[in-house]
Structure 1
Amino acid sequence: MPEIVQNFEVNQPSKNVWEFLQNVPEVVNCIPGFSLIAQEGDNKYRGKVSIRLGPIVGSFEGEATIVESDNKKRFAKIEGQGLDRQGGSRASATVTYQIHDSDNGAIVDIVANLKLTGALAQMGRTGIVQDVADQLTKEFTKNLNNKLISAADNLDNKDIELGGEKPEIIKDSDSKTSISQNKNMELSATKLSLKIFLRLLLRLLGLKKKT
């Protein structure tokens, strides 16, 4: 049973990487040759995998189950099996991954134990499986980084849209000045009204206002 060990670094916080890896459809979209058919339970999925090992191409259909997931340790274990109906090959795998903090973001450690039967089993003994795993990991890392960066940018844009225009804040000194001006205007208006009222009253009485 070949054991494949991989690790890669992602320039995003480990928390974000862990949360993304819990979204199985998004993860599948990041892996070349993988496609999701259906989710058959909370932790069980059916899908297809097309892979080339040397001159042989295998097209597997099977299922994978998340048998362990630890949010605190950011560790998960997945078991899967599939059948290539055309070539008659079978494959089963147990995959574990764990996420660790790093200076630049997060490091993902992956260990996969594979069991191959049929024509692909002959290729599995030559080291070609390791080469294919290296290439898949490289492509997956690139796609994962792009997805996480895009998600972070969308979140920032939503924050800006929700924020809108900031309300104008009136400083305390400006507020006091405005209140003082309003009071002066009110006093001026009151004096003017009294002056007009007195003039009218004097006219009615036939008197002149003393200067």
Structure 2
Amino acid sequence: MEIVGEYRIAAPRQQVWAAILDPEMLKRCIPGCKELEATGENAYAAKVQIKVGPVSATFSGTVELTDMDPPSGCRIAGQGNGGVAGFAKGEAVVKLAEDGEETILTYTADAQIGGKLAALGGRLIQATARKLADQFFSSFTAALAGEEAPAAEAS
């Protein structure tokens, strides 16, 4: 399932790029993120708690930033195992374009799930994936604008 979005961020592109590389910023903005620890350059171990319909699960997995093109963009890939709930993996290609003193962030994301989560139905999964992507990028945009990002929920 492909999800696309665009955000206008009231910050210069170099500042937005630095924020993408900041593990504390990622942890604050990833919905349901409980832990995010560096395991290498631009690679992290993560623990994320999410709820999809009636299924709530904690996923242990990885987040990795690849295809680095500073400060124009990168690929953010994540995968996790939620035990009996199943697995989830996804990636987003993030592009940053200058527009005066602001930055236009565009993304194209793809998500896949398996196990018990997959049994919930495509429409619910797609709606949840879209909501989680929107929560991440909305929180990211708000944090860069100096606003207190709302606590990223994972439902």
**What's the TM-score bracket when you normalise by the shorter of the two chains?**
0.7 to 0.9
- Residue 133 (structure 1) aligned to one of 130, 135, 146: 130
Q: Answer 1 or 2: which has greater strand percent.
A: 2
1:10–1:141 contact (8 Å) kept in structure 2? no
How many Å separate the matches in 2 of 1:34 and 1:9?
24
Q: Secondary structure at the match of 1:96?
A: strand
The question of whether the paired residues in 1 share the 8 Å contact of 2:25 and 2:140 is answered with no
User: Is the radius of gyration larger for structure 1 or structure 2?
Assistant: 1
Matched, 1:52 2:80: no
Which segments of 5 or more consecutive residues in structure 1 lack a partner in the other structure?
151-211
- Structure 1 residues 102 and 131: CA distance shift in structure 2, 3 A: farther
- CA–CA separation in structure 1 for the residues paired with 2:101 and 2:60: 37
Q: 1:125 to 1:137 in 2, by over 3 A?
A: same
More helix by share: 1
Pairwise CA distance, 1:7:
1.8
Q: Which amino acid aligns with 1:111?
A: T
- Pick the aligned partner of 1:79 from 66, 77, 80: 77
1:99 partnered with 2:93: no
> For each residue in 1:86-131, what CA deviation from the matched residue of structure 2 results, as whole angstroms up to 9, or x when unmatched?
x340112122111112367112111111111012113351144334
Q: What secondary structure sits across from 1:109 in the alignment? A: strand
| Structure 2 counterpart of 1:193 | none
CA contact (8 A) 1:82 1:91 kept: yes
5 Å-filtered alignment, 1:52-201, equals 52-72=51-71, 74-85=72-83, 87-102=84-99, 105-123=102-120, 125-134=122-131, 136-138=133-135, 140-142=137-139, 144-149=141-146
- The residue that corresponds to 2:13 in the other structure is 14
Residue aligned with 1:32, SS: coil
Cα distance in structure 2, aligned partners of 1:102 and 1:28: 27
Give the CA deviation at 1:6. Answer: 2.0
Aligned counterparts of 2:63 and 2:40: Cα–Cα separation in 1: 11
Question: Structure 2: where are the runs of 5+ without partners?
Answer: 148-155
Distance 2:132 2:109 in 1: 15
> Would you say how many aligned residue pairs link Structure 1 and Structure 2?
147
8 A contact 2:85–2:117 mirrored in 1: no
Name the CA shift for 1:108/1:60 in 2 (closer, same or farther; >3 Å).
same
- Give the TM-score normalised by the residue count of structure 2: 0.79
Ranked by relative contact order (alpha carbons within 8 Å, sequence separation 6 or more), the top structure is 2
CA contact (8 A) 1:123 1:129 kept: no
Q: 1:68 to 1:50 in 2, by over 3 A?
A: same
Q: Which residue of 2 aligns with 1:194?
A: none
1:84 counterpart letter in structure 2: G
TM-score if structure 1 supplies the norm length? 0.60
Alignment identity in percent? 23
Tell me how far 1:135 sits from its aligned partner: 5.5
